[in-house]
Each structure stands twice: as C-alpha cells, then as structure tokens.
Structure 1
Amino acid sequence: MQTLKPVLHYNLTFPIFDRNVPNLVEIRNLHFGYGDRAILSGLEMDFPRGKVIAVMGGSGSGKTTILRLIGGQITPQQGQISVDGQIVHTLSTDGLYALRRKMGMLFQHGALFTDLSVFENVAFPLREHTDLSEDMLRDLVLLKLNAVGLRNAAGLKPSEISGGMARRVALARAIALDPQLIMYDEPFAGLDPISMGVTANLIRKLNDALGSTSILVSHDVNESFMIADYVYFLSQGKIVAQGTPKQMQESDDPYVKQFVHAEADGPVPFHYPGKSLADDLGIGKTGAPR
C-alpha cells in the first residue's frame, strides 16, 4: 500500500491547466433526470490525473448528482462516465466495489460515526478493505491523523472536537486507502474562516502528496479558486462556463460574474419567475386599480 508522503511546503501558484495530462475521470454526453425532470443535460467534462477540479454553481444545479454518478450510486440515462478507464454503470457489483476502493469521499458535513473515536473513524475503511495487522493499522491511522494535524486527538469522540476538526478527521478517513480519486461535497460548508482556510490548504496538500485527482463541489469562490487548477460552472444542469480560476475571475459571462461577485440579481433572478406584482394586485399601467 502506498503511504502518505510528507508535505513540506504549500505553494498557491499552479501552472495553467494542461489538456495533455491524461484523465482519470471522463464524462461524455451525460444526461440524467428523475422522471420527466432533467437534472443534467449533455455534460462533457475531463478530470485529469493529479489535478484539483472545482465544480461550482447554484443550489440545485446538479453538482452533487455528478459525484453520485461517478461513484455509481445512480446510473445515467444517456452517455457514460469512465473512471480509470472503466465505464462505471457497466460494472458488476464486485467491479463497482473494487473501483470504489480507489475513491475517497468527504461528505458535506463529515458524516463521522458519532459512537466511534477519531482513531476508529479513520481506521474504519482500513478495517473494512484490508487485512493489515493492528500494529500496521495503528501506524497508518496515526500518519493520516498527523497529516491533518490531529494525531493527538485520536482518542476523542466527534462530540469532543470542533466542527472544523471533525471535517479534518473526515478528510483523514477519506484518504485512508490512498485513493486515486478524492471527491469533496461542499467541504467548506458551515466552517469559520480559519477552518475554511485550513481545509482548503489540506485539500491541495494531500492531493499533491498522494498524486490524486480531486473533484471539489463547492459554493465557496475564494477557497475553491485558491486551490483549483480548473473550474466548471453549472447552471440548470448544463456547463455554462469553464476555465482556470484566473479566467473565471476575469470572465464577462453574466452568470459567472453574478456568481463570482455574489450579485443579487442577474441571469439567476432575485424574483421567482411568474406574473408581475402589478398583475397580482390588479393594478394597471397608470397605477389605478383595474
């Protein structure tokens, strides 16, 4: 098993996204919906090896659905997703479980086992998927916890640590098996500014130390742009813009500008679409009641 290499420094300067880097995950002509309600339409996405890719967009745009499709929890109605050369929805149950061993997942609120200690939370995937001796398992868990700065919290329960620390424990658990692919579902949700910065730095450091590919689903522009190599913007289940964080910050696309600069009105309107207030109140153009 590959062990976690020490991280000695952190550099916020990344090269321009290189399309020649081979992809770990590829999405082609992907369509998915529930009944007649379309969620994703015609997606084409590349997730190169060793890169951090952010998938951003408003609530309900289909971001988390992409993670569920990659993990094989749901099946596309059209198109395909391949991970490490394997088409996910064509795999047998055993094949899917084997593929998932190459994946790590950080859920939106950590999803730690509340009755288990910090140590046992991180040990859980190792106990489930390996036959390591207790001594080796202990050493690996402590290495993972040390990587997120929480080795000395190993004996505590999740209720005894802060929300930011719990998120870091969940991150240590997500990398327990040294995955090729790490998926993050809103990793910054509910964190204070310090914890957000710590979590963002860890995501980038651990990705580079493991040589993994990271898919970061997030609403948070500052932290995501700080660590991502490339960004996809989704709206109503379609990709409306993509590029490097710098390109997105400088974009003139109305949707990207509204999202990046947190503007209240724009392509995503403030008012829910429908009749005007004047129509509802029965007021004519002159202001007199009809």
Structure 2
Amino acid sequence: MSERQSAPPMTNHSRPPVLPPTLSGIDIDALWREIVEGACGCCDPLVKGLLATGIRNHATFGAALAALIGRKLGDRAVADDALSELVTEVFAADPDIVAAAAADLVAIRERDPATGNYATPFLFFKGYHAVQSYRVAHWLWNNGREYLALHLQSRSSELFAVDIHPAARLGRRILFDHGTGIVIGETSVLEDDVSLLQGVTLGGTGKNVGDRHPKVRRGVLIGAGAKILGNIEIGEGAKIGAGSIVLESVAPYTTVVGNPARAVGTRHSSLPAFTMDQMLPPLDYII
C-alpha cells in the first residue's frame, strides 16, 4: 500500500452529530445570492472592479470560486485561465467539493466575530482560500495528478503561508482563523467541525514513513502556535491551549496546555470549535 493510501478513514462516532441548524444543510444557490447582495452594498469606486471580478461577474458560487483559485494560484507555470478551467473541471467531476467549500464559508460566518457577511471571507480570508485550494489539490492527488497537486500545495504555501499536503484528509466546516503558519502533514486527518488558529502544526516526529501524523476528531479547537506531533489522536471536542506541544493522544472533551501538554480540565459535552472559547480553567503555573 502506498503512503498516500495509508491514512485511516474518518471515523463515525456512535453518537450522531448534533449541529447548529444553520450548519445542518446549506442551499448553495441561496448562499450565493446572499454573497452577491453583500457585494452590491459597497460603493467604493476603487473596489467595484474587485467585486465584479470576484463576485458579480459569476452566475454561481462554484464558478466564482474556480475563478478565485485560478487568480490566486496562477503563475507563469500554470496560467490563471488554465487553472480556473482545471478547477471548474474538478468541481464538475466532484460537486461535493463545492458543497464542502460552502459549508466552510458558513462555518466562518458562524464562528468568526470579525466576519460581517459572506462576501468578506470569500474574497479576503486566506485561511479559507488555502483550504479550498487544498480541496482541489486533494482531488488531483487522488486521481493520479500528483505533480499538479504538489504545485498547488507549493503555490498555496507561498501565497497564503499555509502548507497542507494534498494527501491529508480534511472534513467539512473547517476554519483556519488567520491561517498564517499552519502546517498539515501528509497523513493528517481533520474530521468535521475543526477550528485552528494561526501557527498550528500537525506534524511528524522525525524521519518515520507511513502513517505518522495526528488524527484530529470532530469539534476540536486548536489554539495559536500549538504543535501536535506524531501519529496520535486528539479526541472529539478536545481543546488544545495556545502554544502547547502535544506529543501524546488527548482524550475526548479534554483541555490540555503546556510544554509538554498535560490535561487541565474535562467537559461532558460541547464542541469548542463552535464557540471558539479559548479560556482555560484555573491553573497552577505551567510551562
């Protein structure tokens, strides 16, 4: 079995997922209409062309997203128009990628207090752009176009300072808040409803090959600068404190902090990725 096939499938926990009503189902056409309406509210003459190119010139969410990825990642090696056409073909082959992108956008609006509408993250949030670029690269990787997938990974890393290996496995409703400095290794798994802040690394511990990166379960919140290393599991609903170094698996609904990280509290329920609550319980001094 090749390394890119070695990542385990995402697990389905015995308890059915309980999602906020606004995330349980998305009408992509209605979402696009709201994005267009939001873009029409701006009267700044210097921004009108940007809004037209990014939003108003496109009939659908998928078409606008394909054009955006092409503009962002296109270069002299793969031109903007050619890349946008490629992304359009990928979306046609797997419409679920577009659905996942819409779900990610809704998650950003729900969780990020700096987001006043859908047009803002769609156009300007590089964490969102990096995840959607990854989704295209992941499809290419799984369909035998590995060098093109790696090219998109490289361009995304250069432009967004976010490095996601195209073989990694990401679920839906993923939020990379700020995005800068996030690194996701080849055999990493992020299940649905995960939120990461800037500077997070999901990495290996050395030169091991095969399945060697973290598995992050549903609803996890990972604070800024945290480093999670090795083939370990971060249980559902866990919270990783900012700056923590995590070298061992974390139990579900448990908060860990420090270097090396240790448990400082547990909860019976709730998913911190939804609330983005980074507060910790009262602590003794910890490095």
TM-score with structure 2 length normalisation? 0.28
Higher strand share: 1
- Which has the higher relative contact order, 1 or 2, with Cα contacts under 8 A spaced 6 or more apart? 1
Q: Which has the larger radius of gyration?
A: 1
